[in-house]
Homo-oligomer: A and B are copies of this chain.
Amino acid sequence: MQGIRRGRGAGRGAGRGTVSPSVWDREGDPCRESGGAKDRELLLAAAYVSDAQYNRNVQFETSPQAIRLYHFYNHWTMRAATYFFIWVDLALALFEEPAVFPLPFLVTSIAEVLCLTAFFGRLVHFAKVTPQKVFWKDTKNICVMVTIVLTLIDLVIYASLEAVNIRGVRWSRALRPVFLINFPESRQIRRAFRSIRNTLPDILYVFLLFLFSMMIFSLMALKLFGDRDLRTVEGSPYFTNILDIAFELYVLVTTANSPDVMIPAYELNWWYSLYFIAYIIINTYIFMSVFLAVVYNNYRKHLKNEIHTLAYLKRHKMTEAFNILKVKVGTEFVVKEARWRRLVKVVAPGISSSHLELLLRISDEGQTGHVDKMNFLRLADLLNIRVVAINIKKHPLETWMPRVYQSSTSLLVQKMVQHRIFVWVYDVIILINAIFIALDEKDSLISYAEWLFLSLYIIEILLKLYTYEPSAYFGRKQVDCVLFPARKYNSQQVLDIVLILRILRLLRVIVSIQRFRVIVTTLINIGPTMLTFGGLVLVVYYAFAIIGMEAFHGKVHFLDPGSGSPEAAVCGNPALKDSAFARGRYCKNNFNDLASSLILLTELTVVNQCFALLADGFALVTRQAAKLYFIGFHVVVVILIVNIFIAFILEAFFVAYSLEKSEVETAIEKKIQELGVGVQEEDMKDGGLIDHVDTKDSGFSADEGGNKKRDLRGLYFRIASKKYKTVDTLLQQMFESEIAPEGKDPSLEEILNFSPKKLNFDNSA
């Protein structure tokens, strides 16, 4: 048997204990994939477990030290530290001129050098756990190194100029988001950027058509209105210059100057409004929808493709690991139980023995003493499923005075508190409280009512503490909301807001209705991935903010309007006299520090009248070319990023709706449940029950179940993240079910050619 295994292993060009470098080549990123796939680690460990001998073909060490180093690289403290330094680096813009909180240049530059050192250290660590060839082929690493060097050069130049009192431009600051994008941890942001890059060609073609349409409309406007000597509301000439017209029409696409832009023509003759209506239908509605369609289509295509590839790559690595460990038993290749145990312990050193047993029972259903290929391939997924072991404790009061606690009155109280109606009654109380908050609080009756509500909430807390086991009760986050007001009662408004947050408890009622549940669950599911967009938006905003600060810093000032000085009325800049910008009190929308810039950019994203006002305002105080900055921002953020965001939400909901229909449950989850039913029927039923109840009454059901089963061994498993999954995980599971279960695996080359365009994967690690 052993011989056959070895023979086969050698036949594949790599003996046991080896991993073909091609896997590394394409997946140079050792960080966990979305959902924390363990396939990479398993492959490493398999090479180690097989006999822990080195082999000429091995591209890297498979010693325990190497695995530990790798482990350490992926350890959460290291990753947290990296993120910490990335954020410190980005936050430096708050303290550098123009600053929100000014700090001397020496302090910020030392902080920056510290960050750069940390990034360099992280890079060196990464180089240690990656084959050299792979490391140098990865553009990410090169990118980070170049940025570190450039930043150092910039720092030195700036400091030297400072020393001789010349003010330089800290241009390298716009490069800071590079660290956020290029560190392996930011896979999601990179994927979003890749998605944008892949969409660009298609967007470009639509954009050209859109420009063509805008050009024709501009020419028509010039000929229709140019000679009529019309005046805008502001009194300036109306539609006389082709460039002005083009800008106004572009702004009309953002709907920012509708209907102001058409008022002069409309006052002349109402037929002219048809021109603008035609323009809006074609350019605002149709073209903007086409942009969305193109972005969404590409997003879906590339997402599907990437996830498809990820799923196959995982399978490929698991197959390699299996081939390293397999022995032939009977007619099929399997992995022996002992070896399997060693492997799991290497990969997950902290695993509890009961968890290990559970996994073994799932992998080795027939208890044959070995794990077959199909079940082995699932190991990475099994290790990724967080299984929670729940200890069922008695209520302390029951331990201290069992007779009183078990008396009929006490039991009645407990039953009452556990009853659904108890929850409903408090929901109604919260609703009434909400209405009281909305009413005028100066009324003394209402302020008494506030005290009444507070007492009711305290009674609720006491009753629940009496009924439920305290550690379980306090373990829930929700408790914070309940206790919060008591601590901070000195501020009436904070109390009110906390009470308003309590209203969120009503979400529970909403979630208990099936139709609402899909929506709320999906909204919660997309939460984590939204952070990706947060990162993406931050990167773009940061770069635009730095540019904006260099270009428009100090042009507009916010002076306290209370002072009554004439300066305040024109935002400290005489060029803004009589402008809509100053009249609308937009002075605080400026580029004088990072926070203001970011808020201004957010306002621009919402495109509205402010878009036109701001563009005009800044064009007044600087140059007309300033408008290009605003149009550029609109194209990048609204046409690209907002559309990708919408596409993402659309896709998330479509996946949610399609899953709602087919009720897809992954094979693994089903198996755990099946097995659970086989091993300890009652327990698992409760587990299921708890999951069920959990969704409806977020909070206390674990103990409800527990109370009933007190006589069982007090430990059962629950899949921690069953209800709430990221969209990625859902998609991955959908595709995994598509992959043929046995033997028909495509080769690595085939996997990597799934992509519609090859460039898709050049940087995919």
Contacts and interface: CB of A to CB of B under 8 A. Distances in A.
A350 interface: no
Given A202-B515, A506-B212, A608 B653 contact: no
A43 to B, nearest CB: 35
Contacts of A653: 290, 293-294, 297
Contacts of A286: 523, 649
Q: How many copies does the complex hold?
A: 2
Contacts of A665: none
Contacts of A510: 208-209, 212
Interface in A396-440: 434, 437-438
Contact of A500 (B223, B273, B290, B589): B223
Contacts of A561: 267
Nearest to A645: B285
Contacts of A642: 285
Interface of chain A, main secondary structure:
helix
A215 interface: yes
A366 interface: no
Nearest to A270: B595
A733 interface: no
A653 B297 CA distance: 8
A438 B222 contact: yes
Contact of A438 (B208, B219, B520): B219
Given A290-B653, A493-B223, A277 B500 contact: no
Interface stretch (A150-158, A462-470, A599-607, A746-754): A599-607
A292 interface: yes
Interface residues of A, number: 85
Interface stretch (A25-33, A123-131, A256-264, A353-361): A256-264
B290 A519 contact: yes
- Most-contacted residue by chain B among A266, A294, A504 (CB, 10 A): A266
A731 interface: no
Contact of A650 (B201, B209, B219, B293): B293
Given A273-B599, A285-B645, A602-B277, A216 B585 contact: no
A483 interface: no
A606 B259 CA distance: 9
Nearest to A293: B653
Contact of A289 (B220, B222, B649): B649
Contacts of A296: 650
Contacts of A585: 233, 263, 267
A675 interface: no
A657 B199 CA distance: 14
A212 B606 CA distance: 22
Contacts of A277: 599, 602
B209 A516 contact: yes
Interface string A574-595: 0000000000111011000001
Interface in A709-734: none
Given A209-B510, A270-B599, A434 B516 contact: no
A14 interface: no
A284 interface: yes
Nearest to A438: B242
Contact of A497 (B223, B496, B504, B654): B223
Interface string A263-303: 10011001001000100100011100110111011000000
A26 to B, nearest CB: 26
Nearest to A266: B588
A411 to B, nearest CB: 36
Given A216-B504, A290-B653, A437 B646 contact: no
A503 interface: yes
Contact of A258 (B219, B523, B603): B603
Nearest to A494: B223
Contacts of A607: 255
Contacts of A285: 642, 645-646
A379 B218 CA distance: 49
Given A233-B585, A263-B586, A266-B588, 9 more contacts: A205-B513, A222-B437, A255-B606, A258-B610, A260-B609, A267-B558, A277-B599, A285-B642, A297-B654
Closest 5 CB pairs of A and B: A293-B653, A609-B609, A289-B649, A223-B496, A242-B438
17 contacts: A209-B520, A212-B506, A218-B438, A219-B434, A219-B437, A259-B586, A259-B603, A259-B606, A267-B585, A277-B599, A277-B602, A285-B642, A285-B646, A286-B649, A289-B649, A293-B653, A608-B608
